[in-house]
Amino acid sequence: MAKTLAPVAAWRSRGTWQVPLAGLLGAGAALGQAPWDLLVMAVFGVAGAFFLFARARSARFAAWIGWAFGTGYFALALSWIPEPFMVDAARDGWMAPFALVGMAGGLALFWALPFWLAHRLRGGVWLLVPLWALAEMARGTVLTGFPWGLPGYAWGAVPAAQWASVLGVYGLTALLFVIAALLAQLRVLPVLSAAGLSAALIAGGAWIATDLPQTTDAPVIRLIQPNAPQHEKWDPQKVPVFFRRQVDYTAAGPRPDLIVWSETALPTLLNHADEALAIISDAAGPVPVVLGLQREQDFTWYNSAIVLEGDGTVSQIYDKHHLVPFGEYMPLPGFFRSLGIEALAQRADGGYGAGPGPQLLDLGPLGRALPLICYEAVFPQDLRGTDRPRFLLQLTNDAWFGQYSGPYQHLAQARFRAIEQGLPLLRSANTGVSAVFDARGNMVASLGLGKAGYLDAALPAALPPTLYARYGDQPVLVLLVLMAAASLWQARRDSD
């Protein structure tokens, strides 16, 4: 019997059990993301990671804890990742499990590094807090970035989300880490401090939310949602059905002041779309239409949005500039082509070309809008490359993300862009959720997931530029670096 239990005793004495426990805690923390929105699970899950880190016997073991926690977190938060591969299951389905495992394990490396470094430098949890937050900022920029599922989005369930107008979602992520690190101390004073800080954030957010201007005689914008499932979107027999549906929604009275179609809503290249655009213009009458489609120029395809004026002319074109790696383009197209792997959403060899960067659409009496095509709404930094617009306009095709967590997470991230900038955001989504957010991120109108229809809503008022709109992530970056330096200084002082 003793020999039988010996491996178990050795396993427990080495602390190996902490690695699978970290994975479970990570999955629990992911429940803070949409559609679950369980902030308490996010906070206590991250607190568990800090607790395990503080008891790691080596830097290498701390890295394993961070990696396991991240893998569990991203495996659940990104559980929608297989969905795009199942659109054409015969061609791409075999890649679905590898994509989820690869994404979860790969992104977890961003978390393993701060765990390793904080232990290696003997800075404790108060060095891990800024290093982990800095790692999340790096995740949003390295290799074009993938900031999906930032822990700070868990604040979206409570009024504390309003602090994004001051600190951005990266700052909210750092605050969540601070509160979790306090809880991990398991002592009365730190736990009370965590509770007090949480209460202050929620109460302060509720106070910030009261600052919302009202407008009268606001223009009305119509969002078109055709609900074209991705596996049918390009089917030659279905294309006329979806096109006619959108034209009918466009023609419905009473007429709005602007009509918005979703990403790639027109299944025709702009180069050959004269007939289709004439039909749309006739249905819209004098009302301008912003719509998504593809275009080709100099043998390069672009995922674009155009402004179709009331006289039927195309006055403005915006080309998506922040493309989805392995979705809209392949980093090494020749290599992956030799393996039989192509970008999931590409419509031309090698994928789409990237546009020159953010730009505004001048919509006359409605003011200027900043267009965001799908994935571009998850990058806070992409909203700061132009003059200040009157509102944000997202065209997206969330049919790629399935019918459960993916579309709601994308919606939640778009909402945070409205809060950060203090600008209303209008979102036209192929399969939903189409929505209108005011400048504080309140959803004032929506059309649910998996429904066909259109949504008319008045354009909410804009706020003056927020602190985040003025300064971006730089203040948070500086504070995190200073916190890391102070933690290192304290660690060196304690060791002397």
* Per-residue pLDDT tens digits for 78-93: 999 998 887 777 777 7
The arithmetic mean of pLDDT across residues 224-238, rounded, is 94
Tell me the pLDDT of the chain averaged across its residues: 92
The arithmetic mean of pLDDT across residues 447-465, rounded, is 97
Asked if residues 47 and 154 have their Cβ atoms less than 8 Å apart, the reply is: no
User: What pLDDT does 143 receive?
Assistant: 85
309 is known as an active-site residue: no
User: What pLDDT does 338 receive?
Assistant: 54
Given a cut of 90, whether residue 343 has pLDDT beyond it is no
* Per-residue pLDDT tens digits for 401-437: 888 999 999 999 999 999 999 999 999 999 999 999 9
Beta strand extents in 201-344 (DSSP E only): 220-225, 258-260, 289-297, 300-308, 314-319
DSSP annotation of 397: -
- Other CB atoms within a 10 A radius of the CB of residue 198 amount to 20
Residue 471 vs residues 19, 146, 439, 488: alpha-carbon distances, Å = 39, 22, 18, 27
User: What pLDDT does 188 receive?
Assistant: 97
The span from the CA of 280 to the CA of 291, in Å, is 10
The span from the CA of 125 to the CA of 487, in Å, is 9
* Per-residue pLDDT tens digits for 257-303: 999 999 999 989 999 999 999 999 999 999 999 999 999 999 899 99
Instruction: Please pick, among 83, 263, 376, 420, the residue that the annotation labels catalytic.
Output: 263
The model's pTM is: 0.93
DSSP annotation of 401: G
Asked if residues 359 and 316 have their Cβ atoms less than 8 Å apart, the reply is: no
* Per-residue pLDDT tens digits for 365-410: 999 999 999 999 999 998 988 999 999 999 999 998 888 999 999 9
User: What pLDDT does 90 receive?
Assistant: 75
* Per-residue pLDDT tens digits for 21-50: 999 999 999 999 999 999 999 999 999 999
The arithmetic mean of pLDDT across residues 121-145, rounded, is 96
Asked if residues 33 and 408 have their Cβ atoms less than 8 Å apart, the reply is: no
The span from the CA of 439 to the CA of 212, in Å, is 7
Instruction: Please pick, among 83, 136, 233, 374, the residue that the annotation labels catalytic.
Output: 374
263 is known as an active-site residue: yes
Beta strand extents in 374-496 (DSSP E only): 391-396, 425-429, 434-437, 443-447, 453-458
Instruction: Please pick, among 320, 328, 376, 420, the residue that the annotation labels catalytic.
Output: 320
- Other CB atoms within a 10 A radius of the CB of residue 305 amount to 28
User: What pLDDT does 257 receive?
Assistant: 98
420 is known as an active-site residue: no
User: What pLDDT does 94 receive?
Assistant: 82
Residue 423, token pair as written in the block: 């600008």
